[in-house]
Amino acid sequence: MEHTTLAHHLLLAGLLFALGLTGVLVRRNLLVVYMCLELMLAATTLAMVAFSRFAHKMDGAVFVFFVITVAAAEVAVGLALIVALYRRRGTIQSDALNLLRD
Amino acid sequence: MPFVLSKDSPRPTFPPMPDGLFTFFAALTLGAALLLVLSRNAVTSAMGMILALVGIAADFFLLDAYFLGVLQVLVYAGAVMVLFLFIIMLLDTDDAASAYPWKTAALGLATFFLLGAGVLWLFHWSGAVSAAPAGATPPEFSANPAEFTTAAKSFGRLLYTKYLLPLEIAGFLLLVALVGVVSLSKDAPEGQA
């Protein structure tokens, strides 16, 4: 732990966030897009824990606890929405879901 | 704020190397995230996601947040990803066989490299983040509830005192999500709902 500074953890979190955002922008499979969103969320929690640890404060860690709780609820609802979408439209490819465009 | 440099705090002349375990798990996490983003098969993507989440949990352990690391593995890499895998198997999720149009690929590459360069500059070269070491291993438990400690019961103490209202709201949110999921996945007859 001696040589790993806050910057290293933030760097890892930032790169993970960038990867997740890239996936959200590029991928067309809604499920994979959703997983990339979750990756972005996890990257932000990593930054939060790093700040919490390096500031010697507990509050950031407790916040991450709440973030994990909310993320679990959010995933359940989001996946139910995706299943409902698939039932109605028969696809979860985002480029096929242009009902409101034309 | 101990992690922000003041004018007279020492600045690093070269970025210190992180220790081996961190490097290993960071590489594992980034590689798994790459697998998630690039793989055409949704199941392979989910496997990459699980590996990335386990890597993040390992990083929580390296940050002495053991409880959060365990929680991450249990809730995220366990429950949430099992849900994802169920849905992937349930739905026919074959990606369209065609390659991505070059515009999308260029957008993705540009996003990644811009964000990555920004992150690298901000956290590594700009000198805005202190290079101070984390200090001694935090105590397991402390009389001061605001201090960073590793024991799970220090979470409980804060959750039931300072963060009691957010805890209740989170519980209620879980209930709302439960009801929402049930009503969403109810089989509505055609023409209704």
- Over the stretch A44-73, which tens digit does the pLDDT of each residue have? 999 999 999 988 888 999 999 999 999 999
Q: What residues does each domain of chain B span?
A: 16-95, 142-186
- Identify which of B92, B120, B102 has the alpha carbon closest to the alpha carbon of residue A7: B120
Q: Give the Cα separation of A71 and A88 in Å (integer).
A: 25
Q: Evaluate if residue B193 carries a pLDDT over 50.
A: no
State the ipTM, two decimals: 0.91
Q: Give the Cα separation of B138 and A29 in Å (integer).
A: 43
Which CATH code is given to the segment(s) A28-92? 1.10.287.3510
pLDDT (0 to 100) of residue A91? 81
Q: What residues does each domain of chain A span?
A: 28-92
Q: Which residues on neighbouring strands pair with residue A29, listed in sequence order?
A: A93
Chain A neighbors of B120, CB-CB under 8 A: 11, 14
> CA distances (Å), A89 to each of A27, A85, A94, B75, in order?
19, 6, 11, 31
Q: Is the CB of B163 less than 8 angstroms away from the CB of A62?
A: yes
* Cβ density class A33-53: b for 16+ within 10 Å, e for less: bbbbbbbbbbbbbbbbbbbbb
Chain B neighbors of A43, CB-CB under 8 A: 56
- Over the stretch B12-32, which tens digit does the pLDDT of each residue have? 544 556 788 899 999 999 999
Per-position pLDDT tens, chain A of length 102: 457 888 889 999 999 999 999 999 988 888 999 999 999 999 999 999 999 998 888 899 999 999 999 999 999 999 999 998 888 888 888 777 777 776
Q: Residue B50: what residue type? A: I
Which CATH code is given to the segment(s) B16-95? 1.20.120.1200
Radius of gyration of chain B (CA): 22
Q: Is the CB of B148 less than 8 angstroms away from the CB of A25?
A: no
A:B CB pairs within 8 Å: 263
Q: Is the CB of A1 less than 8 angstroms away from the CB of B19?
A: yes
